[in-house]
Structure 1
Amino acid sequence: MSEIRVRMARPDEYAAIGELTVEAYTTGGHLADDVGYDAVLRDVAGRAATAEVLVATGGDDVVLGSVTVAEAGTPKAEVARPGELEFRMLAVSPDAQGRGVGEALTGAVVDIARERRFGRVVLCSRDRMTTAHRLYERLGFTRIPERDWAPHPDVPLLAFAMDV
């Protein structure tokens, strides 16, 4: 696979990013019991209005994955506290999974945190997203169970953090 590049998403890519995100979550079995979250995942323009949306592309500039980055106290931040940067909705196209796209996106978030002098990067992930959990742990994230929460009774979210 050609080199993966991460950059800010462009508005003309929002629809493709939304569909890619829904496809990745659906393929992974993460939307089966979460009626309505697909609309949230598709609303890339809404996310971009209050957070940053990054994309990973290949050499042909085709979108391979995306992640949303939010600062504490902003509408898209769920668990970030002052001094922390949060990321959400990390998604990689099913066709590009296993090629380092998720790692590149996560690394870009960590780089942003360092550049902006945040002390920590945090995130929440569905309890059953074990492939993502292995990636986060391999990259140096650790569990912070005191911040686990559930937006709905059947949707437990596990919190992770990395000091940067």
Structure 2
Amino acid sequence: MDIEIRAALPAEYAELGEITGQAYTGDGLLDLNEDDHYLNVLRDVAGRAGHGEVIVAARDGEVLGGVTFAAPGSPLADIAGPGEAEFRMLAVASAARGKGVGEALVRACVDRARALGVPALVLSTQPAMLGAQRLYGRLGFVRTPELDWSPIPALRLLTYRLEL
């Protein structure tokens, strides 16, 4: 599949927001009764673009997925230590899954972190995101259970780190 990886265009923010929201709700990763606020955060691509770099995967003008890259010091970083980069909200449209889109987006984040000269790239993921966890392991990310955290009491996030 020919995939173009690039910065998201403002005209694509709403579409990427829907893809991101659907990836989390469609996979049962959000309990909408408790997490309506986070669904709004997931859909707010314009807000993220103001504090980080939103990267999309596209083919023939169609947005297939996206990810938010948080450079060192970004207010979007949840677990990054001093000088580390982080990526968040990786999402792929259901029709594009299993075609290398997620991997291309993660590799773009790795390349971006290396270009910045940071020592590591970190991320958080839900325990149910098994496919993503396999991808992270395949790309050399290592579990960092000492950094696992809970944004809300009922949700424990797993963390990973890639030394660069």
Normalised by the length of structure 2, the TM-score is 0.95
What's the counterpart of residue 67 of structure 1?
Answer: 67
What is the Cα deviation at residue 29 of structure 1? Answer: 1.1
Q: Is the 8 A contact 2:71 2:113 kept in 1?
A: no
What is the Cα deviation at residue 161 of structure 1? Answer: 0.4
Cα distance in 2 between the residues matched to 1:154 and 1:6:
35
Describe the superposition over 1:112-154 as per-residue Cα deviations: whole angstroms up to 9, x where unpaired: 1111111111000112211111110111101011110001011
Cα distance in 2 between the residues matched to 1:72 and 1:111:
14
SS class of match (2:155):
coil
What's the counterpart of residue 104 of structure 1?
Answer: 104
Tell me how many residue pairs correspond in the alignment.
162
Alignment of 1:123-138 (within 5 A): 123-138=123-138
Question: Counterpart of 2:109 in structure 1: which amino acid?
Answer: V
Runs of 5+ in structure 2 lacking a partner?
none
What is the Cα deviation at residue 51 of structure 1? Answer: 0.7
Cα distance in 1 between the residues matched to 2:101 and 2:151:
27
Cα distance in 1 between the residues matched to 2:117 and 2:148:
25
Q: Is the 8 A contact 1:6 1:56 kept in 2?
A: yes
Cα distance in 2 between the residues matched to 1:126 and 1:72:
23
What is the Cα deviation at residue 5 of structure 1? Answer: 1.4
What's the counterpart of residue 10 of structure 2?
Answer: 11
Identity in percent: 52
Describe the superposition over 1:14-73 as per-residue Cα deviations: whole angstroms up to 9, x where unpaired: 000000101111121111253321100011111001111000011x12100000011233
Q: Is the 8 A contact 2:84 2:120 kept in 1?
A: yes
Runs of 5+ in structure 1 lacking a partner?
none
Alignment of 1:1-164 (within 5 A): 2-32=1-31, 34-58=35-59, 60-164=60-164
Q: Is the 8 A contact 2:113 2:120 kept in 1?
A: yes
